[in-house]
Chain A
Amino acid sequence: MLNEKKIHTMTKLAMFEEKKGKEDLKINKYYRIDYIRLRLYNSFVCVTIGYVILLAAVILYYSEYLLQNAVKLNYKEIGAQALIIYIVLLIVYGFITILVSMYSYDRAKKRLKKYKKNLKMLQQFYNEEMESKQEEIHDESIGI
């Protein structure tokens, strides 16, 4: 026998899982702080790679000047400046990443509330089915 309400609920759940909910469910596997930490690491790695390439590009651009004045340059000062810029970049990007990932985590949790409600409903249906089956068996054994 087809329970239409149950099918309706199951359809909603399946469609959510396959389309809109995919990302949310992935995010949900993490605790909030772990998710933020993950995104933060990701962001740091990207910023570092990008900065290294940028530095290489800048050095290449000024390579003539650098070669000409190789002896006279204050490497400490230049190095310190490059490092400071790097740290500032890390802080800025890190800050933005934390804000954004907190926001998306909370949004995902919110969307999952409905999903969980439907899951509970589905569980209800299963429970009812189990009960009615047990009643049938009981009735049969008594001989009704």
Chain B
Amino acid sequence: MTNLLEFKERLNQIYQRGGIYIKPVMRFLLSFIVFSVINGNIGYDTRLSSTPVVLLLSLLGAFTSSSVFVLLAGVVSVLHIYSESVILAVILVGMLFIIYFLLLRFTPQMGYAVLAVPVLYLLNIPFAIPIYLGLTSGPIAIIPLSCGVIIYYLFKVIKTAVMTNGAGAMADVLGLYKYVVDNLLNNKEMVLALVVFAVILLLTYFIRNLSINYAFYIAIIAAAVVNVLALLMGELALGITNQIGTIILGSLGSGIIVFIIQFFRLTLDFSTVEYTQFEDDDYYYYVKAVPKVKIAVSKKDVKRINAQRNVSKVRRHTEEKADEDFR
């Protein structure tokens, strides 16, 4: 256990010193993964899927805000579909607009969650998000989560439509449209996913808010277990039996990943060096603020050996404190 904490401490120091460089690199990697996943799945437009374009897009993603990045991912996806079938692209855009204006508009800061759901679905670890959001956010995250699930299934249906539509000729517009809508609204798998996501989110949120030790970790474990159970029950009830093995593994994988993230989260959240500058009448000030590392020191056993008395143990136990000012 101490080794892990030391490791955490070491990472913390590295992050502190290099944080300003590490962040864009991480974001670049993340963007790269996202765009590669999108291209791997609906990469119909070979120009967009080419490596230089992907690298350029990832570079953009690294240095822009998360909302712009989500928008970029959306545009790329639509362009891929557009290269295969104009009608489907129009249908897609229409539905995305409906979802945006009626649902997503109200949680603008959680755009990344909407993008994360489809991407993680394609990586087979979709349930990491509701668990993660249950820990970091709250029930309000149900909105972007549900939107993400709907968008994922929307793309799934459209992908099937592209495949069955063959060479993308100007086929029956209405037929295509009805096909997409029908498959989306009557999609039992999607409804199951929506329900399970909501349940996991709320479950994680409630457990983590209980004032017991290690509430966060218990919440993650409980969520992973409930996840597997709920999916099994749901699939049996609705008669969908595809790929149960992948789903179970995926759920466990999600749980493990969130576990790891949670372990590092509390330190990395507060640890970047911050820069600011200001002036007064006499001086210009250039400030570099380095946060102090306040990390949980594990229980220390201090043995006091006295000639006359027996050995007695004293335990000390310090807790992480976050800085109160302006947090």
Contacts and interface: CB of A to CB of B under 8 A. Distances in A.
B276 A61 contact: no
A4 B6 CA distance: 34
Nearest to A2: B283
A15 B289 contact: yes
Given A16-B326, A49-B101, A64 B276 contact: no
A30 B276 CA distance: 27
Contacts of B326: 12, 15-16, 20-21, 114
21 contacts: A7-B287, A10-B285, A11-B278, A11-B287, A11-B289, A12-B326, A14-B278, A14-B287, A19-B274, A46-B102, A46-B105, A47-B102, A50-B97, A50-B98, A53-B94, A56-B94, A57-B94, A57-B181, A61-B178, A64-B174, A96-B106
Contact of A54 (B98, B276, B278, B280): B98
Given A46-B101, A53-B101, A15 B174 contact: no
Contact of B177 (A15, A43, A60): A60
Contacts of B100: 50
B325 interface: yes
A51 interface: yes
Interface residues of A, number: 33
Interface residues of B, number: 24
Contacts of B94: 53, 56-57
Nearest to A15: B276
List the 3 closest pairs (A to B, CB-CB), nearest first. A50-B101, A50-B102, A14-B276
Interface of A: 2, 6-7, 10-16, 18-21, 43, 46-47, 49-51, 53-54, 56-57, 60-61, 63-64, 89, 96-97, 100, 114
Q: By DSSP majority rule, is chain A's interface helix, strand, loop, or mixed?
A: helix
Interface string B82-106: 0000000000001101101110011
Q: By DSSP majority rule, is chain B's interface helix, strand, loop, or mixed?
A: helix
Contacts of A12: 325-326
Given A16-B326, A50-B100, A57 B95 contact: yes
Interface in B104-163: 105-106
B42 to A, nearest CB: 22
A51 B102 contact: yes
Contacts of B289: 11, 15
B97 A53 contact: yes
Contacts of A100: 106
Given A16-B326, A20-B326, A114-B326, A54 B102 contact: yes
B97 A61 contact: no
Contact of B181 (A7, A50, A61): A61
Most chain A beta-carbon contacts within 10 A, residue among B101, B178, B287: B101
Interface string B38-58: 000000000000000000000
Contact of A11 (B95, B181, B276, B283): B276
A7 B287 CA distance: 9
B277 interface: yes
B283 to A, nearest CB: 8
Interface string B249-284: 000000000000000000000000010111010010
A46 B326 CA distance: 33
Contacts of B177: 60-61
